[in-house]
Structure 1
């Protein structure tokens, strides 16, 4: 008598049915379990004990992907008809058209009435049946066998399915990867039970003939009109749209009735067995003009997948790995649900949809929704840290590693703002950024430290929340040289990182004198902070010249910096914008900006005459004056303790008029199209601001007189800025600046 073969148990079985297909004597059959999921039943009398099924089972055999690294892209079909019939960008349909044009066969999921079946098509006319998402598990018994037969005939085969089904196919093929086989897996949120569908059919308004779709893209893919929506074709020929508020989609969204194996998926990882992986590119900010029609994420795992992608009629663009993973964690993380509660909620969902309650009752559905909401909230809290760690691990393995040295720990609003903007830009370009934790020394008196304690906490909170990971702390340039961080590229900038009067004994570090000479080095939007080179010692200048010539590329913020690089160090630098000007906005920090109709003053060097001017402007325009960043009260003005970073940005963005001698105060005024006056009297500050204003045709916004003439100041305040012309110049400069950084990172 045959011994029962070793197969996945009820809690680990994925329902792929590969074991059923490979059994030569029909000893294994699929059946629907009491929880509404497909399982395998073993027939002792027909089994001969060959154990082919055990070697095929992807859970027992443990087949692994082909070694290699995967790449992620944004993609969409060039054929608009195919694209609009698809759930997202139409990538699968475009791949299928290419295979069918070669005389091949395409396997995919289709609706057969109200159940999902997997079928093969050989004509483009039949492709529509395979398009669109199906949130049910189908029975693949017999499908793998058909695919194997077509492969043996030498025909190209495109096989699509969720990751465990792709693993099942390779199990049936004995782990072989035939040259004429292309596999595409879909990012899967887990299979819900069939009982919600059965309950829906019992209580639907009209008898249902077939399910037409589970998602509605008629109002656009990424829009307020996009939603999950269950649409049916009824037996009387009419169509019904049940939207999201039905037991089928509620069950799918809650995870409570998922099969046990889906709560701990072994196949949810970035590098997979399939040639290609397809998902929605949720969270995309790079291609907003494509959002109405849909954008897909495509992950290429093999050379076969890359070749097919190149042949298909697809638009393929770079995609941000970190952003994609943060908005679709099932690309890398397979756990869901609450471990201690899975059995309880699984039983609750089974009983709820299998007749214990009436899913047609609004009260019952409301109760289910409340339970699901609580469960999903607990699930989110328990898994978010593990998800974040898995994402960071994946990004670390696949991204270009950049170690950035800048003024990240300064208690200067502009320094922190540009650090955030630089890191944001590098992440958008697909880099894994780490900040080198070397800190310039800022000297404050005991009273300043005491008064600034809350400000210190606010800055620390911002850095903790919004900065990327830091290296370990370095206390000197020598420490950094002795133990440099691991990275593909070292980068310095933005801000005055090449101002030796600020960096002092740390200056060589900010000129990247550490690390292997083979490492790439770039300076991005660095600033000397002055028009002349302050180092008078010839030997020291020669040392900095040697360091400057190690750089692969340098860009500087000011025109005077371009001249210094050429004349003092003999290197060619280009002029680029400060990273704050490369941001469209800072809504992630501030939220939507609501105008507050005030005058904002952010000034480092002030005087009684300046404050008199401010009071007069407030009186003339009938607007309150807000002083930003002042630790001590100023007589005659309402005291406001220094804000956090987000509040500081919002105060400038919501103002009607900004007066500032800060480079970043000017930059933010331009980002938010504020009327501003660059009120600069100090020669050491004027060069940086004049250089920026001249690039944008805003030289007239500079007030640099040592004496304040109210008529001249008011004339400036009353003159509106032509931001249409400014935007034209700014966009050209943005293209150059981002292009410089993209070219450098693309070389890694």
Structure 2
């Protein structure tokens, strides 16, 4: 099997698929890893896929010049977002200026990247997505926008930002503005489907998908909780314990204070601000470039100083990739063999599962609020 990058290290950025002139590349998803596989019967050895691959060629990563925590000034925006709403505020500033924004949304059963040119279209990007997304189509569209001398904002994972930079090149990249998200790692959407099928649901038949509301981590499908409201489901427990990411995530080169984007966005976990601010949501904002400063200056956001040591200690991906649990291989072996997802998560992470089971019981007995 001939692959674009090292075996099992594909991040699923899909840039190689999009740039190939012969449609010779297919992403093979085995649940536990991705691989960009080359069809040697179609390949003409142009090497475009190898050049665009961010695993093979990593763009320059820069130390942040400014660190902030903050939120969208608009109370409604802040309230509707997973964190402090800075990503939405930044996106709105771009579309109001006439520039398009590209980011991820859930549509027709897929986590895909789309273009937003209106304030209403920006709303589709709201919310965290704890699963791999598919940027196919947006690379070419962004390049076309940049060729027209349009400013473009792209918001995605660090590996996706790096892939886009490789795809458009330095010359067109002058008008490209990028924001990357602090990422723990991402599971295959096929694995999410394995989880959902336990509840007679699947991605294709779902109209909406929510992974968290502020600090409450729980999957909701079509605005209804999969499990008892206020309780973390097994998919969420597995995700938070680093069990389900694809193999490349545990060697992520972007899990560092040096970032590949203009600004980096995440949650300001461990913030020293008030409990009320924490309840409403606080974003962590790292700024690496002059473009990044421009992004923040034009956005309707409120920014505060942040303690660097606290920010890093509560966002480990600013220091190192997620650690691979020793039980990960056994877990995926069981899942591929058709064993029950929930049961296997409880088998390998009994304590957090037991904690949520007790919480569920207390909520049902009305001893504890959801």
Provide TM-score, normalisation by structure 1.
0.44
Contact 1:103/1:122, CA 8 A, preserved across alignment: yes
User: Which residue does the alignment assign to 1:228?
Assistant: 217
Aligned-pair distance for 1:278?
0.3
Could you say if the C-alpha distance between residues 365 and 268 of structure 1 is closer, same or farther in structure 2, counting changes exceeding 3 Å? closer
Is the aligned partner of 1:239 residue 2:219? no
Contact 2:10/2:33, CA 8 A, preserved across alignment: no
1:664-688 Cα distance to aligned partner (Å, 9 max, x none): xxxxxxxxxxxxxxxxxxxxxxxxx
Partners of 1:11 and 1:36 lie apart in 2 by 9
Partners of 1:239 and 1:286 lie apart in 2 by 32
1:69-110 Cα distance to aligned partner (Å, 9 max, x none): 532101210111111111111000000001101111111111
Aligned-pair distance for 1:199?
2.0
Unaligned runs of 5+ in 1: 218-225, 374-748
> For 1:567-716, what aligned pairs fall within 5 Å after superposition?
none
Contact 1:13/1:261, CA 8 A, preserved across alignment: yes
Is the aligned partner of 1:77 residue 2:75? no
Secondary structure of 1:26's match?
coil
Is the aligned partner of 1:153 residue 2:133? no
Name which of 24, 31, 38 aligns with 1:27. Answer: 24
Contact 2:84/2:283, CA 8 A, preserved across alignment: yes
Aligned-pair distance for 1:15?
1.4
User: Which residue does the alignment assign to 1:55?
Assistant: 51
Unaligned runs of 5+ in 2: 354-370
Is the aligned partner of 1:336 residue 2:355? no
Contact 1:70/1:271, CA 8 A, preserved across alignment: no
Secondary structure of 2:56's match?
helix
1:682-718 Cα distance to aligned partner (Å, 9 max, x none): xxxxxxxxxxxxxxxxxxxxxxxxxxxxxxxxxxxxx
Partners of 2:44 and 2:238 lie apart in 1 by 40
Partners of 1:85 and 1:355 lie apart in 2 by 39
Secondary structure of 2:173's match?
coil
Could you say if the C-alpha distance between residues 336 and 280 of structure 1 is closer, same or farther in structure 2, counting changes exceeding 3 Å? same
How many residues were matched structurally?
349
Could you say if the C-alpha distance between residues 298 and 306 of structure 1 is closer, same or farther in structure 2, counting changes exceeding 3 Å? same
Aligned-pair distance for 1:327?
1.1
Contact 2:32/2:247, CA 8 A, preserved across alignment: no
Aligned-pair distance for 1:200?
2.4
Aligned-pair distance for 1:284?
0.6
Is the aligned partner of 1:323 residue 2:315? no
Partners of 2:33 and 2:208 lie apart in 1 by 19
Provide TM-score, normalisation by structure 2.
0.86
1:184-207 Cα distance to aligned partner (Å, 9 max, x none): 000000012334322222221667
Structure exhibiting the larger radius of gyration computed from Cα positions: 1
Contact 1:18/1:172, CA 8 A, preserved across alignment: yes
Greater fraction of residues in helix = 1
Partners of 1:12 and 1:175 lie apart in 2 by 25
Is the aligned partner of 1:101 residue 2:96? yes
Partners of 2:143 and 2:23 lie apart in 1 by 17
Aligned-pair distance for 1:133?
0.2
- Aligned CA RMSD, in angstroms, stands at 2.4
1:129-165 Cα distance to aligned partner (Å, 9 max, x none): 1011000101222221111111112222110111111
Contact 2:217/2:232, CA 8 A, preserved across alignment: no
* Deviates further, 146-155 or 82-91: 146-155
User: Which residue does the alignment assign to 2:115?
Assistant: 120
Partners of 1:196 and 1:247 lie apart in 2 by 12
With a CA cutoff of 8 Å and minimum separation of 6, indicate the structure with the bigger relative contact order.
2
User: Which residue does the alignment assign to 1:403?
Assistant: none
Partners of 2:351 and 2:278 lie apart in 1 by 33
Name which of 270, 277, 281 aligns with 2:257. Answer: 270
Is the aligned partner of 1:352 residue 2:334? yes
User: Which residue does the alignment assign to 1:633?
Assistant: none
User: Which residue does the alignment assign to 1:401?
Assistant: none
User: Which residue does the alignment assign to 2:213?
Assistant: 216
Aligned-pair distance for 1:36?
5.3
Is the aligned partner of 1:139 residue 2:139? no
Partners of 1:356 and 1:160 lie apart in 2 by 36
